[in-house]
Structure 1
Amino acid sequence: MDLPVVVGVDGSESSLRAVDWAADEAVLRGAPLRLVYASLWERYEGESLTDDLTKPSDELMAEDVVDVAAQRAHRRQPGLKVTTQILPEEPEYALVHESREAAALVLGSRGRSGFVEMLLGSVGLTVAAQAHCPVVVLRGSHDNQVRTGSGGRIVLGVGGKEAVAFALREAELRGAEVDAVRAWRAPARETTDHPLLAGEPARLHEQQASDTLEEALSEVPEKVRVHRQTVEGPARQVLLAASHTADLLVVGARRNTGHLGLQLGRVAHGVLHHAACPVAVVPERT
């Protein structure tokens, strides 16, 4: 049985955009779509779509949210199998639990206005940090159209193997190209006493980045075109710059032994807050 693509919905426009993206993703994967509403989320901003007063208002609101989301998914992809679930739980707990049996978990960005629109809310950060499957957060303002054979550009921050595998599969499904990026930096106070560093200390770090790329991309599907790039600079800034012309940015997050869930580093945390395109955070097992 194919694992579903799961979407966390709350009635906001951001979560409805996530439904659009996830519906397209589910069709690409040949997977069902599952819409999940955690009833302890903040209320849907707007009047209830029904006047049935025989049920508690929270229950009516939850039903409205999932019904609207399901209708939107069916309009987007008429033949898609869609199921819905209302859970009386905190959203962080509910979505992390859902991630155990999901191909991917898709969320909208939770910003409201002004500078805050650039920032991801606490639910999204917690889920991205603890989920057991890739988490896609709908950053950016473009329409995020995803169609079979539609092409496009996926930026991969090369680190762990799971993120690499996810990016390559996404590219294969979409007919997209991959820009595999490895950032590198020479320490500001690099010593030149060592014979390997004498004369060209920066070149050694660039070569190490290039070697990392080659090792990570040793098995690329025949139909996927990959561009390898080593870029000098902080990884977060390099990937944020690349996100402005990307359809998807993929980064890994390592599970820190002895702690609950994934411990998001500065790179994943930064791109989730500020990327100009959807971001996929892929759990890396150690």
Structure 2
Amino acid sequence: MDLPLVVGVDGSEPSLRAVDWAADEAALRGLPLRLVYASLWERYEGAALAGDLGEPSEQITAEDIVRVAAQRARLRHTDVEISTAVLPEEPEYALVREGRHASAVVLGTRGRSGLVEMLLGSVSLTVAAHADCPVIVLRGSHDNQAGAGIHGRVVVGVGEKGTNSAALRFAFQEARLRHVPLDAVRAWRCPAHETTDHPLLAGEPARLHEQHATEVLEEALKNAPADVELHRRTIEGPARRVLLAISHEADLLVVGALRKPGHIGLQLGRVAHATLHHAACAVAVVPEWV
């Protein structure tokens, strides 16, 4: 049985755009779509959905939210199997639990100030840090089409997991489904203490670090599928800065996040944390179990 693609809905415009994106993704993968509304509040507080329904926001219920979201998804893809759930609990806990039986979780970001385009909501951050499955977070300015994005490109940050990288496997699949190229990026840096003033040795430490990055990248990609157009890129700079810059050229940025069984607390890492907050495109955080 295929695990569903889960999308968190709350009636806000970002979550409805996430429904669009998730419906496209479910259609691409041939998966069922599960729409989940989770909240301890019995009533919805917001203007976007209330305006669509022509009712005061205090009269909108959780059932209204999932019903409208399901209708929207069905209009977009009539062949996608859709189920819904209304859960009276904190959304962070509900969506992490849903992720145990999902192929991925899709979330929109929702802010309450002018920083909405920059800062990530606590629900998205918590779910991305704890879920057992990939979590795709759609930032406020994302294109709401999964299959035919603006740039026609998927980017993956290549870490130290080599050919065992779950993030790489996920990125290969996403590029294949979209019929777009995949940019595999390995960032590298030359530590300041390794520089030298000797003219005959100038640039040697940097060359060695770049060569190592190339070797790591080649090792990670040695079993790359032949049906994906693959671009190898080694770029000098901190991984966070490199991936944030290249996110302006991508429709989806894929990063890994190390997970240790039994560990309590956020398990994201600096790179995933930074891209979730500041990337210019949708970000997929893929657990890398150690």
Normalising by structure 2, report the TM-score. Answer: 0.89
Distance 2:138 2:101 in 1: 21
* Residue 204 of structure 1, aligned match among 202, 208, 211: 208
Task: After TM superposition, give the deviation of residue 273 of structure 1 in Å.
Answer: 0.6
* Residue 177 of structure 1, aligned match among 161, 175, 181: 181
Kindly report which structure 2 residues correspond to 1:53-72, keeping only aligned pairs within 5 A, or say none.
Answer: 61-72=61-72
CA-to-aligned-CA distance 1:80-105 (integer Å, 9 cap, x gap): 11000001111111000000010010
Distance 1:39 1:98 in 2: 14
Unaligned runs of at least 5 residues, structure 2? none
CA-to-aligned-CA distance 1:47-74 (integer Å, 9 cap, x gap): 49487xxxxx78x510111011101101
Kindly report which structure 2 residues correspond to 1:14-33, keeping only aligned pairs within 5 A, or say none.
Answer: 14-33=14-33
2:269 matches 1:265: yes
Distance 1:93 1:168 in 2: 29
Secondary structure in 1 aligned to 2:232? strand
Residues 140 and 275 in structure 1, CA contact (< 8 A), matched pair in contact too: no
Secondary structure in 2 aligned to 1:79? coil
Task: After TM superposition, give the deviation of residue 237 of structure 1 in Å.
Answer: 0.9
Distance 1:200 1:213 in 2: 20
Secondary structure in 1 aligned to 2:167? helix
Task: After TM superposition, give the deviation of residue 142 of structure 1 in Å.
Answer: 4.2
* Counterpart residue number, 2:282: 278
Distance 1:139 1:8 in 2: 14
Kindly report which structure 2 residues correspond to 1:1-286, keeping only aligned pairs within 5 A, or say none.
Answer: 1-40=1-40, 43-46=44-47, 47=50, 49=53, 61-139=61-139, 141-147=141-147, 152-159=152-159, 160=161, 161-190=165-194, 200-256=204-260, 258-260=262-264, 263-286=267-290
Task: After TM superposition, give the deviation of residue 174 of structure 1 in Å.
Answer: 1.1
RMSD: 2.4
Q: Which amino acid aligns with 1:247?
A: D
Residues 151 and 176 in structure 1, CA contact (< 8 A), matched pair in contact too: no
Q: Which amino acid aligns with 2:242?
A: V
Q: Which amino acid aligns with 2:26?
A: A
Identity %: 69
Task: After TM superposition, give the deviation of residue 222 of structure 1 in Å.
Answer: 1.3
Task: After TM superposition, give the deviation of residue 260 of structure 1 in Å.
Answer: 2.5
Distance 1:277 1:133 in 2: 20
| Poorly superposed stretches of 4+, deviation over 6 Å | 148-151
Secondary structure in 1 aligned to 2:191? coil
Distance 2:98 2:62 in 1: 18
Secondary structure in 2 aligned to 1:114? coil
Distance 2:76 2:87 in 1: 25
Q: Which amino acid aligns with 2:233?
A: Q
Q: Which amino acid aligns with 1:9?
A: V
Residues 26 and 33 in structure 2, CA contact (< 8 A), matched pair in contact too: yes
* 177-186 or 38-47, which deviates more: 38-47
Task: After TM superposition, give the deviation of residue 224 of structure 1 in Å.
Answer: 0.2
Distance 1:173 1:284 in 2: 22
Secondary structure in 2 aligned to 1:172? helix
Residues 22 and 146 in structure 2, CA contact (< 8 A), matched pair in contact too: no
Change in Cα spacing, 1:206 to 1:87, as seen in structure 2 (3 Å) is same
Residues paired across the two proteins, number: 277
Change in Cα spacing, 1:151 to 1:171, as seen in structure 2 (3 Å) is farther
Q: Which amino acid aligns with 1:115?
A: L
Change in Cα spacing, 1:29 to 1:263, as seen in structure 2 (3 Å) is same
Distance 2:178 2:35 in 1: 23
Normalising by structure 1, report the TM-score. Answer: 0.90
Distance 1:99 1:154 in 2: 23
